[in-house]
Chains A and B, each alone.
Chain A
Amino acid sequence: MTTSPLMPAWGVDHLPTLLAHCRRCGTYTFPSNAWGCRECGDDTLDKVPMPQTPRLRNFITVYGDVAPGLTSPVVVGEVEIAPGVVEEALIAVADESQLKLDMPMEAIGADSADTQRGLRFRPLKAQR
């Protein structure tokens, strides 16, 4: 796998396979090891990287220590990682002032190409 021109590197030289792509209906499902297609239920799924530059669709700051492993305050966003797939994700910025709605994002910090563990998003370099 090579780095897509749309997708900046995030520390290693290939992209995390975040999604499952349905051979039957073409729908993307998150995460890549989902047990079936969220649209049609078929289980012939291919593990694929994000097919587009992720976009920030919404964001907030979480203030309380509301979940294990979460040190607040932290910025949480809704990131569209594939057509119609909008996932809550940690946004690696100091505060919301660096963010604009619908801005392109890049993925950073995953432990390996096969996992989204540790993965966060930040504004694409040109936007920062």
Chain B
Amino acid sequence: MSRLLQERAVHVVGIGMHPYQFPSETPYVHLGLTAVREALKDAGLQWPQVQAAFVGTAAIGMAAGRVMLRHLGSTGLSVTQVENASASGSSAFRLACQAVASGEHDVVLAVGVDKTGHARRASGSDGLSTLSPTSNLPVAKFALLARRYLRDGGLNIEALARVAVKNHGNASLNPYAQFRKPRTLEQVLASPKVAGELTVQQCCPRGEGAAAVIVASAAAIARLGLSRTRSPRVIASVSISEKLGRGDVPPIVQMVRDSSLAALEQAGIAASDLNMVELHDAFSIEEIVYGEAIGVSKPGEGAHDLARGDTAIGGRCAVNASGGLIGMGHPIGPTGVGQIAEITRQMRSEATGRQHPNTRLAMAHMIGLGSVAIAHVLQKTD
């Protein structure tokens, strides 16, 4: 993949969303089609021009793609469903990029769509037992990580709560976000405790929604008369899984470090070149720890950078300008695709009300249960 994306340019030509929302009776087909139709319109494409579709979903069930996409017309395109836990959408996007970069296709859709409540985790079916009912539960794992981070850094709970304040604030400016209310530090701290230092408002909500992104080759952009300057280029795509821990660095943090470093190397840039990062803040601690692992902040300085506004919209490197998983929501299948939509919107200067100035280089980073990590770097097209 590393050379493929350099040899054959892949651009994001269209984006579309169905707002993330609390669980409802709305069929997933409606959620998904809303996002896909918006992405087609945004790109200026007709459905028959799309040659392949990758559908990221974790909870809907088998064959979600064709059941949904046939309502756009039965064109016979390639349809593949992708499940990779929280990284389902990111993985669908990666496969869409590969399909274009490899030369197999010119115009490819990645759509993430999900409903809440039906996902089953394989970790309960491996025939093995654990020492605690929390062992496969992210909230306990990240509360433990938070406790360690605060202890090692001599920090208090407010350092974590500021992540939620920033991201709820960003989400309040995002019409696609599940939460639309700014929250104060006092509110975040006073919300019910879940585990360790994590309160409810520092945790992502359960929800549903959809996000769609259409990628195309430079040749297709020229041939179909699409806008080149509205179409950021994907300059890195990396996928790895967790290795055993070594030393004091928790395996999940090492995985974020390794995946983001590989993506930066593939893009030929340094972490300090990034103007924007969208990352997996299912729990507040993740944003601080991953920000350091990616290199947005120096080790141990993530909380300090956040307090100083470095990671706010308008700061040195905006982290989760969308509102992140905590504020925008985390419907699983759509989440990673939604990150790409947000970055694209920002690079086009179309993020009304929450525009981060001069976004030229951005990373979308996602992790998934298990654990897996997917990293993409996008570059503004002049």
Binding site for B on A (CB under 8 A): 30-31, 33-35, 38-39, 58-64, 66-70, 76, 78-79, 84, 86-90, 101, 115-117, 119
Contact = CB atoms under 8 A, between A and B. Distances in A.
Contacts of A58: 144, 147-148
Interface in B97-135: 126-135
B249 interface: no
26 contacts: A31-B130, A33-B128, A34-B128, A35-B128, A38-B244, A58-B147, A58-B148, A60-B147, A60-B197, A62-B134, A62-B140, A63-B192, A63-B193, A63-B195, A66-B134, A67-B137, A76-B132, A84-B245, A87-B130, A87-B131, A87-B135, A88-B131, A88-B140, A88-B141, A101-B151, A116-B131
Interface of B: 126-135, 137, 139-141, 143-144, 147-148, 151, 192-197, 244-245
Given A61-B196, A84-B245, A88-B144, A66 B139 contact: yes
Chain A binding surface, main DSSP class: loop
Contacts of B139: 62, 64, 66
A90 to B, nearest CB: 5
Task: Tell me if B's interface is mostly helix, strand, loop or mixed.
Answer: loop
B138 to A, nearest CB: 10
A27 to B, nearest CB: 9
A87 B151 CA distance: 20
Greatest chain A CB density within 10 A among B132, B151, B194 is at: B132
Given A60-B196, A61-B196, A69 B129 contact: no
A43 B137 CA distance: 27
A90 B244 CA distance: 23
B366 to A, nearest CB: 23
Given A60-B195, A60-B196, A90 B131 contact: yes
Nearest to A71: B133
A71 to B, nearest CB: 10
3 A-B pairs with least C-beta separation: A60-B196, A89-B131, A67-B133
A74 to B, nearest CB: 8
A76 B128 contact: no
B194 A88 contact: no
A106 B267 CA distance: 50
A70 to B, nearest CB: 5
A84 B140 CA distance: 20
A39 B127 contact: no
A119 B132 CA distance: 9
A72 B302 CA distance: 31
Contacts of B194: 62-64, 66
B132 A89 contact: yes
A70 B245 contact: no
B144 A76 contact: yes
Nearest to A63: B193
Given A68-B133, A90-B133, 13 more contacts: A34-B128, A35-B128, A58-B144, A62-B194, A62-B196, A63-B193, A63-B194, A66-B139, A69-B133, A70-B133, A76-B195, A88-B131, A115-B129
